[in-house]
Amino acid sequence: MIVESDGYKIDFKDAINAIKFDETDKNKTNYHGVTALKAVDIIAEFEDKYVFVEIKKYDNPDEFDESFDIIESDTGTCHKFFSWLKNYLKYKFRDSFLYRYAENKVDRPIHYICLLNFDNALNVKLSNSLRRELPLNKPSNRWVNILSKSCNVINLKKWNELFTNWPATEI
């Protein structure tokens, strides 16, 4: 089942279904249609799980290194790129979860995978921060369910090494 999104083509060979979740074309059956909610790019459905995929491709990934969280440029401009990106990925997941809850499709464990063009080291850092804030585990004893079973940020090379059943290519 092939899905194209944000410059990538992914073939979820063993999926029951895989859709471009943030579809903006009103004529398509999977049109998202709720502008108030953000949406991950792809959702793939399997017998035992759902996989949320968010794709973010940057021309200059270095701009998002956390060690340069606040850029000391000559003009004195400050940007918090890392926080911005982390929040962007976090809210994409949470809103998508709400949407799927309303669809009654949170009955299986959800795995969240962000496909970014950073190197492995930066992706490890981002994964750790994102896991804490998503949140991944039960943050309180009052919680009975978890939102997501896993959350990993990886690049294209790593995706293809890990998910041989779901080959991804740049279009």
Partner 1 sequence: MLTKIKFESFTAFEKLEINFSSGINIFIGKNGTGKTHILKSLYSACDISKSKKGFAEKINDVFYPTNKQIGRLTKRSKTSNSGFVEVKRLSNGQEMSIRLSITNHTLTPDNVKVTGSTKQWLENPFESVFIPVKDMMANSPGFRSLYSTRNIHFEEVYADIIDRAFLPALKGPTDKDRIKLLEILQKSMDGKIVSKKEEFFLKNKQGELEFTLLAEGHRKLGLLWLLIQNGTLLSGSALFWDEPEANLNPSLMKSIVKILVELQRMGVQIFISTHDYVLLKEFDLAVNDKDEIIYHSLYRDEKTNNIVCSDSISFQDIFPNSIDDTFGSLIDRQVYKDMGGKDR
Q: Name the residues that contact partner 1, by CB under 8 A.
A: 49, 62, 65, 67-68, 111, 119-121, 123-124, 127, 149-150, 152, 154, 158, 161-165
| Cβ–Cβ < 8 Å for 38, 53 | no
22 closest CA partner among 45, 1, 6, 46:
6
Q: Give min distance, CB of 154 to partner 1, in A.
A: 6
Q: Give min distance, CB of 28 to partner 1, in A.
A: 28
> Whole-angstrom Cα distance, residue 37 to residue 22?
10
Q: Which is nearer to partner 1, 104 or 164 (CB)?
A: 164
Q: Which is nearer to partner 1, 4 or 161 (CB)?
A: 161
Q: Give min distance, CB of 152 to partner 1, in A.
A: 5
Q: Give min distance, CB of 140 to partner 1, in A.
A: 22
Q: Which is nearer to partner 1, 105 or 109 (CB)?
A: 109
> Whole-angstrom Cα distance, residue 60 to residue 34?
31
> Whole-angstrom Cα distance, residue 120 to residue 35?
33
Amino acid at 48: D
Q: Give min distance, CB of 36 to partner 1, in A.
A: 30
Spell out where the chain has E strands: 2-5, 8-11, 17-20, 42-45, 50-56, 110-116, 150-154, 168-170
Q: Which is nearer to partner 1, 37 or 131 (CB)?
A: 131
Q: Which is nearer to partner 1, 105 or 131 (CB)?
A: 131
